[in-house]
């Protein structure tokens, strides 16, 4: 099932996609909802980020080849950092290139969306119950600032630096899907999520023992090898089997006068 969040005639709605029409839902996507019998063609809506999280927990260096390409060792435990919810953009929204950076990279990732509050999950917890769905994520990074600063906050947190979408896919095996990133149509990242060092069930439990995960929170599970810079005007696409394609264009910041 693919759940989209969108704007239609000034209303913000969730809907299920069947072929190319959206069936709006009434109720909560986290609990119970009813499917309305009033389909809207997807061509008539503006797609929005599928979720507004209270936080975005990111995992660094979760693919061996990517740790290697930046000269970092493979971590013994997940390396976590946060991105602020203010960085979220949805499908087709612009990534704004900050003036203070000379190197802004894409990082295509699989994102997990949390369904219900998860705190201190034990080893045997049924992790699937805590997952609402999966989506594509672009963990945009000012690489020069990441190298310069001691920690990641500035480099990872500019407005528009967390592209999410296009939908929430509920039926997905997060341990075995193909992830691809394209820059101006050219394939730049390709990997199976099978190659994650710390797989999704492990990450949910591990993070829940540090901070409470709330409904709607995002876990960005790390990027495979092939990260690289983007320039204003570039189009970047993160594509995951069973979810779809998240497409965004890079723009220069508009100077306010
Ligand atoms: Zn990342």
pLDDT at 256: 65
57 CA → ligand 1 middle, Å = 10
Count of Cβ atoms closer than 10 Å to residue 20 Cβ? 9
pLDDT at 11: 96
Predicted confidence (pLDDT) per residue in 203-220, tens digit: 999 999 999 999 999 999
pLDDT at 219: 98
211 CA → ligand 1 middle, Å = 19
| Ion ligand 1, residue ranges at CB < 5 A | 107, 139, 223
Q: Sheet holding 95-97: strands in order across?
A: 95-97, 244-252, 235-240, 178-183, 186-192
38 CA → ligand 1 middle, Å = 39
By the 10 Å C-beta count (0-12 exposed, 13-18 middle, 19+ buried), 75 is classed as: middle
Non-local CB neighbours of 83 within 8 Å, separated by 6+ positions: 56, 58, 139, 156, 157, 161, 162, 220
HEC string for 83-128: ECHHHEECCCCCEEECCCCCCEEECEEEEEEECCCECCCCCCCCHH
**What sign has the CA pseudo-torsion 237, 238, 243, 247?**
negative
Strands 131-139 and 162-169: antiparallel
Count of Cβ atoms closer than 10 Å to residue 37 Cβ? 7
122 CA → ligand 1 middle, Å = 26
Average pLDDT of adjacent 10-residue blocks, the chain of 257 residues: 97 95 96 94 96 97 84 89 98 97 98 98 95 98 95 97 98 96 98 97 98 98 97 98 98 76
252 CA → ligand 1 middle, Å = 22
144 CA → ligand 1 middle, Å = 15
pLDDT at 65: 84
pTM: 0.95
pLDDT at 173: 96
220 CA → ligand 1 middle, Å = 7
The CA distance from 237 to 244, in Å, is 10
């Amino acid at each position: 099932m693919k759940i989209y969040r969108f704007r239609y005639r000034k209303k913000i709605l969730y809907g299920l996609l069947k072929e190319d029409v959206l069936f709006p839902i009434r109720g909560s996507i986290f609990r119970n909802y009813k499917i309305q019998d009033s389909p809207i063609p997807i061509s008539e809506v503006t797609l929005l980020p599928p979720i507004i999280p209270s936080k975005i927990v990111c995992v660094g260096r979760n693919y061996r080849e990517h740790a290697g390409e930046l000269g970092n060792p493979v971590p013994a435990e997940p390396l976590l950092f946060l991105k602020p919810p203010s960085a979220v953009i949805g499908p087709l929204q612009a990534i704004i290139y900050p003036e203070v950076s000379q190197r802004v990279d894409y990082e295509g990732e699989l994102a997990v969306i949390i369904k219900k509050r998860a705190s201190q999950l034990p080893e045997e917890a049924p992790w699937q119950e805590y997952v609402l769905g999966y989506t594509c994520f672009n963990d945009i990074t000012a690489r020069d600032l990441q190298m310069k600063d001691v920690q990641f906050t500035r480099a990872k947190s500019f407005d528009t630096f967390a592209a999410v979408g296009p939908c929430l896919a509920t039926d997905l095996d997060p341990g075995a899907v193909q992830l691809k990133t394209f820059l101006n149509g050219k394939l730049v990242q390709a990997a199976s999520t099978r190659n994650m060092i710390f797989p999704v069930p492990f990450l949910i439990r591990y993070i829940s023992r540090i901070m409470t995960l709330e409904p709607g929170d995002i876990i960005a599970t790390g990027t495979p090898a092939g990260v690289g810079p983007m320039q204003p005007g570039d189009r970047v696409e993160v594509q995951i089997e069973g979810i779809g394609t998240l497409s965004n264009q890079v723009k220069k910041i508009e100077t306010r006068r």
